[in-house]
Structure 1
Amino acid sequence: MRKLKLIILFLVSFSLVPLIVGCAGGKTYESTGEHFDDSIITTKVKASIVGDSKLKVLQIGVETFRGVVQLSGFVNSNEAATRAVDLARRVKGVKQVNNSLIVK
């Protein structure tokens, strides 16, 4: 009976290894935790841009990968682009901001 329990425990443990490894990240993809963190950063950056009284623009896209924020879309002036980058940099967790904003 004891031997059977050990075998079952081994098989259960061995079957959980792929699940745990599947949550790990690599160079080109995020782990589950990193994806969740990046989603929060993206939401905070979008909220700060939309909530800013100096930026009256909704045409800015925000994507985040491992703390690096990519801003894309259209703005009316260079000042608006600079302001959007500054707002993104102020969000906790942002490591870098890549500015791909186009001035109309």
Structure 2
Amino acid sequence: MQYARAIAFAAMAGITVITATGCAVARNQETLGSYVDDAGITTSIKAKYADDKTVATTSISVETLNGTVQLSGFAKSQAEKNRAEQIARETKNVRSVRNDIVVRP
């Protein structure tokens, strides 16, 4: 029974990855390899936000396409907005950062 459950889980995980990567790749926005790299960049930035006490992880959205990071959402101060951008810029493989975070006290 556990073997069948493990196979079902693996199949669902595979379908999810193929579906998620297929959208970006099918639209000719990026290759599968770039998509995986972009996902790694996004994950790395979000992890750094979680470790940083000045950046509210839940209020800032991070998206990456071909090494370009798009930041959006809301910050409580200009300092938080600036720190979020700094963390993104210092992350490995980031080519550029678009900071569209709105400061809203």
**TM-score, normalised to structure 2's length?**
0.70
Quote the residue 2:67 is aligned against: 67
> Contact conserved, 2:56 with 2:75, CA < 8 A, in 1?
no
1:7-27 Cα distance to aligned partner (Å, 9 max, x none): xxxxxxxxxxxxxxxxxx7x9
Distance 1:28 1:77, change over 3 A: farther
Does the 8 Å CA contact 1:69/1:88 hold for their aligned counterparts?
yes
Q: Indicate the SS of the match to 1:40.
A: helix
How many matched pairs? 81
Q: CA deviation at 1:56?
A: 3.6
Deviations 1:27-85 (A, max 9, x none): 95110000000000000011111210222442100000000000000010111000000
Give the number of the structure whose residues are more often helix, by fraction: 2
Q: Indicate conservation of the 8 Å contact 2:77/2:103, yes or no.
A: yes
Inter-CA distance 57–32: structure 2 relative to 1 (3 Å threshold): closer
- In structure 2, do the counterparts of structure 1 residues 102 and 28 end up closer, same or farther at CA, with 3 Å as the change threshold? farther
Moved more, 54-63 or 73-82: 54-63
Over the aligned positions, Cα root-mean-square deviation in angstroms equals 2.1
- Cα distance between partner residues in 2 of 1:28 and 1:89: 25
Contact 2:60 2:72 (8 Å CA) reproduced: yes
The structure with the larger Rg is 1
Unaligned ranges ≥5, structure 2: 1-24
2:88 alignment partner in structure 1: 88
Q: TM-score, normalised by structure 1?
A: 0.71
Q: 5+ residue gaps in structure 1?
A: 1-24
Report sequence identity in percent: 39
Counterpart amino acid of residue 67 in structure 2: G
